Amino acid sequence: MKTIGIIPARYASTRFPAKPLAMLGGKPVIQRVYEQVNGLLDYVVVATDDERILEAVKGFGGNAVMTSVNHKSGTDRCREAHHLCGGDYDIVVNIQGDEPFIHKSQIESLVACFKDESTDIATLVKPFVPADGFDKLENVNSPKVVVDANMNALYFSRSIIPYQRNRDKAEWLANHTYYKHIGLYAYRSNVLEEITGLPQSSLELAESLEQLRWLENGYKIKVGITDVETIGIDTPQDLAQAEEFLKNHPND
């Protein structure tokens, strides 16, 4: 399979403008993401909507393309970038531009999902453990995933699923394996073309989770498991946390 990793990177952000260019350990965040995945796929490129990001990526020797400012999601931006890069890759990996500690094993697990020929889309989950505590499980910003016996996603929700009717909530994590969704996706290139043409669905609008649109339309999402905990950067406070993490884990 011929693979391309696309890193969508917007300049505008309500909570953290210019986030891709924020410095982390002496390098822009976007450079750290790029360096974590470069060499793991056949080609890696940053898909941006801003000349400043484009020039920054070219400045550290990376590949970058300019895409429309009108895209509503990273998935849409990936589709355009794939076209700009020739459109002849089998698997398109959508890599979050604010995950500077993304791990090699996560990319490998994601791509391995396509060994199953029925896989349309792949994503990752990380099991919650009892030490996480109920508050983390209940956090609506950590979507949960229910899978079938073949590790295909049945549903994603900001609510806790499943609900354990006959147990105290303090016992839930000890008596069931809950999965936290890790927002990393890969698509067969023809599937990427199809899903970006779909209208928003009722479940997607209810939960504000794009992947529910794909499930509602019958696409099969294969789920890989990772035990790696990464730090996403959504706010300046997250950046400070990432800086501290980098000091304590210089080789990560």
User: What are the residue ranges in the chain where pLDDT is below 70?
Assistant: 252
Q: What confidence score (pLDDT) does residue 252 get? A: 67
Q: What confidence score (pLDDT) does residue 249 get? A: 82
Q: Whose structure tokens read 């989770």? A: 209
The angle formed by the CA atoms of residues 162, 168 and 170, to the nearest 5 degrees, is: 90
Q: What confidence score (pLDDT) does residue 230 get? A: 79
Kindly state the greatest CA–CA separation across the chain: 58
Structure pTM?
A: 0.94
Residues 6+ apart with CB under 8 A from 230: 99, 101, 102, 103, 106, 182
Distance (Å, rounded) from C-alpha 61 to C-alpha 28?
Answer: 13
Q: Give the chain's end-to-end CA distance (angstroms, integer).
A: 28
Please state which architecture CATH assigns to domain 117-182+190-229.
Alpha-Beta Complex (3.90)
What DSSP string describes 196-233?
TTSPPPHHHHHHT-THHHHHHTT--EEEEE--------
What DSSP string describes 16-42?
STTGGGSEETTEEHHHHHHHHHTTTSS
Give the tokens for residue 198: 């779909």
117-182+190-229 and 1-102+231-252 share a CATH fold: yes
Q: What confidence score (pLDDT) does residue 248 get? A: 86
Q: Whose structure tokens read 């706010």? A: 235
Give me the amino acid identity at 172.
Answer: W
Distance (Å, rounded) from C-alpha 58 to C-alpha 46?
Answer: 10
Q: Whose structure tokens read 């792949």? A: 122
Asked if residue 217 lies in contact with residue 201, where contact means CB atoms within 8 angstroms, the answer is: yes
Distance (Å, rounded) from C-alpha 208 to C-alpha 214?
Answer: 13
Distance (Å, rounded) from C-alpha 2 to C-alpha 41?
Answer: 8
Domain boundaries, the chain: 1-102+231-252, 117-182+190-229
Torsion of CA 33, 34, 39, 41, to 10 degrees: 80
Asked if residue 182 lies in contact with residue 110, where contact means CB atoms within 8 angstroms, the answer is: no
CATH fold for domain 1-102+231-252: Spore Coat Polysaccharide Biosynthesis Protein SpsA; Chain A (3.90.550)
Within 10 Å of residue 57's Cβ, how many Cβ atoms? Answer: 23
Distance (Å, rounded) from C-alpha 178 to C-alpha 234?
Answer: 24
